[in-house]
């Protein structure tokens, strides 16, 4: 990228969106917003659970795509900026955060699998509410991990940006 500061600012803006809990381009920022909304759309034991679980499935799919797109920018263009302008400590810290991307991607794959089973009706009624509650707990943990990850990246990207000025 010709303007590393502009890319860093773009990534910082995505992370700032998480803190503000605002809607924006589908990224890890809106994933957080959408996952927070999922609790309102879907509640195990409600009579309209089929509609709610389908909304949840759409939310998980959108969040997964948005997080993947955001991570791709970090794993390509931003990685090149760190290689060109970062010192050994910044590179080490950045690689540690990149490793978290795999965990977060895997969590979305697991969530998609779980919600798919709930939507399919393959889970017996007595186990359905338990599986749905487990999914919501899993998603809440995923949301917290995304928030922590974005916060750590935000600090690191600010540090890199400061070294470019």
- What's the mean pLDDT in 119-136? 82
- Please give the span between the terminal C-alpha atoms of the chain, in angstroms, as a whole number: 17
Q: Return the number of other C-beta atoms located less than 10 Å from residue 13's C-beta.
A: 13
Q: Return the number of other C-beta atoms located less than 10 Å from residue 78's C-beta.
A: 23
- What's the mean pLDDT in 62-86? 88
Q: What is the token pair recorded at 13?
A: 């803006």
d(CA 135, CA 49): 14
Q: What is the token pair recorded at 20?
A: 């503000």
Quote the pLDDT of residue 19. Answer: 41
d(CA 160, CA 16): 16
Quote the pLDDT of residue 52. Answer: 74
Quote the pLDDT of residue 18. Answer: 47
For the chain, the domains span: 4-164
* Percent of the chain whose predicted confidence (pLDDT) is above 70: 77
Q: What is the token pair recorded at 115?
A: 């919600």
Quote the pLDDT of residue 89. Answer: 94
If pLDDT is split at 50, 70 and 90, which confidence band does 40 have? Answer: low
Residue carrying the six token digits 């017996």:
124
């Amino acid at each position: 990228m010709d303007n590393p500061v502009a890319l860093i600012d773009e990534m910082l803006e995505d992370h700032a969106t998480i803190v503000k809990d605002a809607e924006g381009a589908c990224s890890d920022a809106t994933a957080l917003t959408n996952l927070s909304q999922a609790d309102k759309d879907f509640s195990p034991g409600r009579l309209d659970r089929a509609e709610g679980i389908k909304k949840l499935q759409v939310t998980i799919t959108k969040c997964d795509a948005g997080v993947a797109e955001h991570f791709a920018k970090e794993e390509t263009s931003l990685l090149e900026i760190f290689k060109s302008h970062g010192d050994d400590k910044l590179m080490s810290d950045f690689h540690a955060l990149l490793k978290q991307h795999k965990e977060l991607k895997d969590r979305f794959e697991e969530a998609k699998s779980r919600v798919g089973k709930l939507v399919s009706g393959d889970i017996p009624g007595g186990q359905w509410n338990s599986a749905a509650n487990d999914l919501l707990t899993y998603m809440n943990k995923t949301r917290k991990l995304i928030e922590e990850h974005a916060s750590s990246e935000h600090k690191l990207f600010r540090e890199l940006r400061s070294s470019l000025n």
